[in-house]
Amino acid sequence: MFYTHAMYLDSLAGIASGREVLGFPKVLAHPKLEVRNDALVGTLDYNGVRVATATMAYKYERLDLAAVKKTLEAPGFLLKILPHVDSSARVCELVRFVASDVTVKGAWTGPASLELHPHCFAPVAKLPVLEVLSAVHLVADISLVNGQVVHDYLAEGKSRQIASAQLTRSSKQGR
């Protein structure tokens, strides 16, 4: 089980489709992943400013592909928040999603490092990362099936608003 806080992508179509349907917290930025000799190097730039650099030993130690597949098939959770025109929350849901058609082509672990830099619109440096405990590099094909709303945080408020509106209407009709 995992939770996704933010996903930085450089594809507007990918951002719109994942954010609007399931609520993936996608942000337009410039991620880059490349092999530099014996290291895998990942960088994240937001509006031309470097906000993260990660390094990992490239193909250091193979992982069990069946175990990785099982992990990828575990449910994931997202907090889907869509604003109303007045900036209040129109949708605020905990959404569960599951990967299907998972084919793991390769998976490795190894020593890694992470460097985060402050940015007002990409606040990754505010994450309390004290130590990198593990790192995984994987190559896989994955499909996402439709999500399921686990909890609607506004449902109770909506019920109260509807009940309040009905009471107001009843009291006005009784006058």
Environment class of 93 (CB within 10 Å of its CB; exposed 0-12, middle 13-18, buried 19+) = buried
Between CA 122 and CA 141, with CA 33 as vertex, the angle to 5 degrees is 105
Residue 26 falls in the annotated catalytic set: yes
Out of 26, 69, 126, 158, pick the active-site residue: 26
Looking at this protein, which amino acid is placed at residue 164?
S
Residues acting as catalytic residues:
26
